[in-house]
Amino acid sequence: MFKSELQTQAEEEERARKDERNERARRKREQKAKKRYRPKMPQKIVVIKNEDKTGWVESWDKPKNRNIACIPHSFRLIASGSVGRGKSNVLGNIFLVHQASSRPFKELYICCCSLESKEWLKYEPTAIMTELPDPEMFDGKKKTCLIIDDFEFEKSNKQTMRNLSTLFRFTSTHKSLSIMCSYQVFFAIPSVARKCASHFIIYKPNSTLEMNTIANRIGMEPEDLRYIFEHICTGRYDNLMVDMTPDCKPGMKLRKNIYEPIVMTDESDSDSD
C-alpha cells in the first residue's frame, strides 16, 4: 500500500512537469507567431482600416452619377441665416435627395423648439423631440439623419452640451449619423458644431462684422465672401454652400444654392477691392 502511494505521487509529479513543459512550449510558439506576423511598416503614413466605419461611409465616387446635393454620408452641415430665408426648406431638399437615392436614410430625428410644429411632418420623421437626443440611442446599424432646427443652446445645461459635443465629434463619424443644423445667428452656433462641420450653407449676413467673422470661421477671405453676396448670391433666398471636405469634387467647394459652382478668379478679387 505504501509503495503504491509513492508510485502515484511520482506519476502526478511527472504529469505536472510534463504540463509545465507543454505550457512553456505553447508560450514560445505564441511568441514566435507574434514575431512572424508582426507587420513591417513603411516609412510613410498608411491608412489603417477603422472597423466602426466599415460598410456605410459614402464618397463622391459611388454612384458615379451622384446628385451634387446628395452629400456623402456621414456629414455635419450648418445652415445660418436670418428668419424667413429658406433654411429649413434647403435642409428638407437635401434630405429628400438622399431619399431618392439608392441609399436613403432609414431614420430621421427632428430636434426643434415645439412638438406642436407641423413643419417637419411631411418628411415622415421617426421621432420629433424638444431635447437633444442621447448619443447612446444611435447604434450605427442604420443610416440616420438628425436635423436640429433653431434649437436654443445658450441656456442649455452641461449634459445637453456634452451630448452635442459627442454627437458632432464621435457619433456622426462612428455611428452612421448625418447632422443638419439651422441657426438664425452665426454667433449663436456652438463652437464644437462650427469646428466639426463639414459643410456650411450661408445666407447674406446682416452686418459687415458678422460677414468678416463668418469668413474667418469657414476659411475664406472677407473680401471674397463680400464679393459673392454682392455679385453672385444676390437674391433674398440665395445661399452660399461651402464644402469643407478634403475629397470635395474639383470646382465644387463653393456653390450657389447647392447646385451652381462658384469659381473665384483674380478678376473677381480685383473687382471687390
What are the residue boundaries of the structural domains of the chain, listed by start? 57-272
* Residue range 47-52: mean pLDDT, rounded: 79
State yes or no: pLDDT of 18 exceeds 80: yes
Strand partners, 254: 242
Indicate the residue type of 203: Y
pLDDT (0 to 100) of residue 270: 46
pLDDT at 61 over 70: yes
Residue corresponding to grid cell 433654411: 87
Q: Identify the three-state secondary structure at position 178.
A: strand
Q: Mean pLDDT for the chain? A: 88
Q: What is the distance between the alpha carbons of residues 183 and 88, in angstroms, rounded to a whole number? A: 10
Q: How many CA atoms lie within 13 A of 44 on its CB side?
A: 2
CA distance 273 to 271: 6
Predicted confidence (pLDDT) at residue 267 exceeds the cutoff of 50: no
Q: Identify the CATH homologous superfamily for domain 57-272.
A: P-loop containing nucleotide triphosphate hydrolases (3.40.50.300)
- Per-residue model confidence (pLDDT) at position 125: 96
Which residue, chain included where needed, has cell 458678422?
210
Q: What is the pLDDT of residue 1?
A: 47
User: Tens digit of pLDDT for each residue in 233-266?
Assistant: 999 999 999 999 888 888 899 999 999 999 887 5
Q: What is the pLDDT of residues 164-193, one digit of tens each?
A: 999 999 999 999 999 999 999 888 889 999
pTM assigned to the model: 0.80
Instruction: Answer whether residue 226 shows pLDDT above 80.
Output: yes
Nearest to 145 by CA among 91, 65, 69: 91
How confident is the model over 126-166, as pLDDT tens digits? 999 999 999 999 999 999 999 999 887 777 789 999 999 99
Q: Which residues contact 26 (CB under 8 A, 6 or more apart)?
A: none
